[in-house]
Amino acid sequence: MSIQQLETDYLIIGSGAVGMAFADVLLTETDANIIIVDKHHKPGGHWNDAYSFVTLHQPSSFYGVSSRELCGGMVDEIGLNKGLSELASGAEIMAYFDKVMKHTFLPSGRVKYFPMCDYKGDGKFSSLLSDTSYEVEVNKKIIDGTYFKTSVPATHTPNFEIAEGVKFGPLNDLPSLTKSRDGYVIIGGGKTGIDAVLWLLENQIDPDHITWIMPRDAWLIDRKNTQPSRDFFTHTIGAQATQAEAIAEAENIEDLFNRLEKGGVLMRIDPNVRPQMFHGATISSEELKQLRRVKNIVRKGRVTRLDTDKIHFGEDSISTTPNTMHIDCSARAVPVTETYDVFKGDTVVVQTVRTYQPVFSAAFIAHIEANYDDETVKNELCQVVPIPNHDTDFLVGLVKQMQNQMRWSKEPALREWMINNRLDGFTKLVRASEGTPPEELAILKRLKEAGPKAAANMPKLMGEIMQITAARQAKTANT
C-alpha cells in the first residue's frame, strides 16, 4: 500500500451540491487551496444515482454554485410546469457540476479533486480502485458536506420484507419496463412518489391502474410562490405576506394550516385528508390536478411485507398480483434529525440555515467562514434550521429562519452579500426602491405590518406544537 502526503487549507468531504457550493465561495472570496474528496466518479453527489426523469422541484435559479448560472432564467412553455421557471433535469445538473469542476475549480490551480475515494476521517482517505491512501495536513478547516446523507431510491434499502417472485424495484426502473402489467403500486407519499405517479400518467397509464400507498399525506408548497422573477412578485412576496398574516391571526395550529391553505401558501392532494407530513416539496397546480386523478390511495401506514398476492401493513393487508409492478419510493430524501453547531474548532458541518435551502445554506456558511473570525459570532449567524418532517415542522423551521433573518439584518455587509448572491432568491425582491409599483408597495406594507403581530403570536402556537410533539413521541414509545 502506498501512502501519499498532501497539504491544503480546506479539505471538503463531498462533491455534491453542498460541497460544490461551499468550495465555490471559498474560491471566490479567499485565496485558499482546497481538496475535494468524494466516493462518486463525478461531482454531483446523489444526482449520480438519481432516476433518469428526475428534475429539481424548485426553480433552477436557486440551485448550483453562486458564480455560475444553472440556467438562463428560462420559463417552461409546455408541460405541467408551463409558465414557471424551468426545472433542471438530473442530466443537466450533472453536466453543470462537471463544467463547474472542469472549467472553474480545477483551472484555478487551487482545487484538487479526488473522486472514487472513501474518506476515513482525521484527514485520511483512500482510493476505491487501488491500494493508494492519502493523509492530508489541513491548515484551516475540514468541511463536512455529507451531513444531509441524501437518500435516493436506487441506493435505498427498503425497511420491509419482499418475498421471492414479487416484481419490485426503485422508480429508476420505470423507463426500462417493456411489458404490460396488471397494475402499478407506488410505495411512498413524498416527492419521489409524486414523480412516479406523474411519470406513469404522462406515459398513458390509466389512473385506475395505479395504487398509491401513502403512509402520510403531505402539505405541499405552490411552486408559483417560489419564483425568483419580479413578474411573480405578487405570488412570491404576496405568499410571504399571507403567511405572516396567517401566523399573526391563527387561533391554533389547525386554524393556521386552514389559513395557509385558503391563502394559497400550502396545498394538499386530498382536501378531505389532513396532512401530517411536510418536507418542503413544491408542486404546480397542473401537477396537482394530475395527481388527483389517482383515486386508489391506501392509507394503512407503512408497508411491512410484500408477497406476490398481498401487501401487508402489520396485521392489515390489501391484494396484489404476481404481475403487478411495485415501485419503491419510500426513501426519505434527507433522513437526518440531529443538529450540531456548524462551526466547531477545525470542523465545519454544513447544515441548513434557511428552510429547505441546503445549497444557499452552504454558500452562506462558506461566506461566514471566509469573512468572520470569532467562532461564537459565526455560530450565532449560522443557527441551524432543522430539516422538516412532520406538519408542525413547517412552523418550527419558519421560527428558526425568522430568528436568523433578524440576526442577519444587523449585518449590513451580509445583507448586501445576500442581495447580490444568485442563490438567495428573494432578499432583492423585498427591497423597495424608487419606482416600485404601488401594488408591490402594498404587499411589502402588509408583510411589514404582519411581522410583529406574527412574532407576538408565535409563543402560543409553538406551545401547542410542544404538546403535539410530546404526544407524538409518547405514542411512538408505546408502539
Regarding whether 226 and 130 lie in a shared domain, the answer is no
Say yes or no to pLDDT of 433 above 70. no
Any idea which residue has 473522486 for its cell? 115
- Report pLDDT for 472: 85
> Would you state the pLDDT for residue 476?
74
Shared-domain flag, residues 230 and 243: yes
Mean pLDDT of the chain: 93
Q: Which of 99-108, 169-178, 286-295, 470-479 has the lowest mean pLDDT?
A: 470-479
pTM: 0.94
Q: Are residues 178 and 114 in the same domain?
A: no
Same domain, 169 and 252: no
Residue 39 within any structural domain of the chain: yes
pLDDT for res 428: 79
Tell me what pLDDT residue 432 has.
Answer: 63
Residues 129 and 43 in one domain: yes
Domain count, the chain: 3
Do 173 and 316 form a contact (C-beta atoms < 8 A)? no
Residue 284 resides in a domain: no
Under the banding of pLDDT at 50, 70 and 90, the label for residue 209 is: very high
Q: Which of 388, 404, 420 corresponds to the end of one domain?
A: 404
Output DSSP code: residue 272: T
Q: For residue 336, what pLDDT is reported? A: 61
- 165 & 307 share domain: yes
Q: How many beta carbons lie within 10 A of that of residue 206, not counting itself? A: 11
Rounded to whole angstroms, the Cα distance separating 147 from 287 reads: 31
Residue 113 has what DSSP assignment? E
Least confident segment among 47-61, 255-269, 312-326? 47-61
- The answer to whether position 456 is within a domain reads yes
How crowded is residue 404: how many other Cβ atoms within 10 Å of its Cβ?
Answer: 21
pLDDT in tens, 6-51: 999 999 999 999 999 999 999 999 999 999 999 999 999 999 999 9
Regarding whether 132 and 193 lie in a shared domain, the answer is no
Q: Is 419 helix (H, G, I), strand (E, B) or coil?
A: helix
Type and span of the H or E element at 254: helix 253-262
| Dihedral angle computed from the Cα positions of residues 142, 148, 149 and 154, in that order, rounded to the nearest 10 degrees | -140
Which CATH number characterizes residue 169's domain?
3.50.50.60
Q: What is the pLDDT of residues 230-244, one digit of tens each?
A: 889 999 999 999 999
On whether residue 64 sits in a domain, the answer given is yes
- The answer to whether the beta carbons of residues 26 and 366 sit under 8 Å apart is yes
Residue 417 lies in a domain: no
Q: Looking at residue 117, which CATH number applies to its domain?
A: 3.40.50.720
- Write out the three cell numbers for 435: 419606482
92 plus 39 within the same structural domain: yes
- The confidence score (pLDDT) of residue 138 equals 98
Residue 165: what pLDDT? 96
For residue 192, what are the contacts with CB-CB under 8 A and spacing of at least 6?
51, 152, 153, 171, 329, 331, 333
3-state helix, strand, coil in the chain (%, to 5): 40, 20, 40
For residue 250, give its domain range: 218-267+432-479
Which residue's C-alpha cell is 439584518? 409
- Rounded CA separation 375/240 (Å): 32
Per-residue confidence (pLDDT) for residue 49, from 0 to 100 = 92
pLDDT digits (tens, 9 = 90+) for 412-431: 999 999 999 999 978 878 87
Give the residue, 223 or 356, on which the prediction is more confident. Answer: 223
Are 90 and 16 members of one domain? Answer: yes
Closest CA relative to residue 174, chosen from 191, 188, 186, 160: 186
Same domain, 87 and 200: no
User: To which H or E segment does residue 367 belong?
Assistant: helix 358-371
> Which residue spans within 214-253 are E strands per DSSP?
218-222
* pLDDT on residue 333: 61
Same domain for 26 and 56: yes
For residue 279, being part of any structural domain is answered with no
User: What is the β-pairing status of strands 305-306 and 310-313?
Assistant: antiparallel
Instruction: Tell me if 410 is assigned to some domain.
Output: no
pLDDT per position as a tens digit, 303-348: 999 999 999 999 999 999 999 999 999 987 666 678 899 999 999 9
Predicted confidence band of residue 151 (pLDDT cuts 50, 70, 90): low
Look at residue 203 and tell me if it is in a domain. Answer: yes
> Do 145 and 11 fall within a single domain?
yes
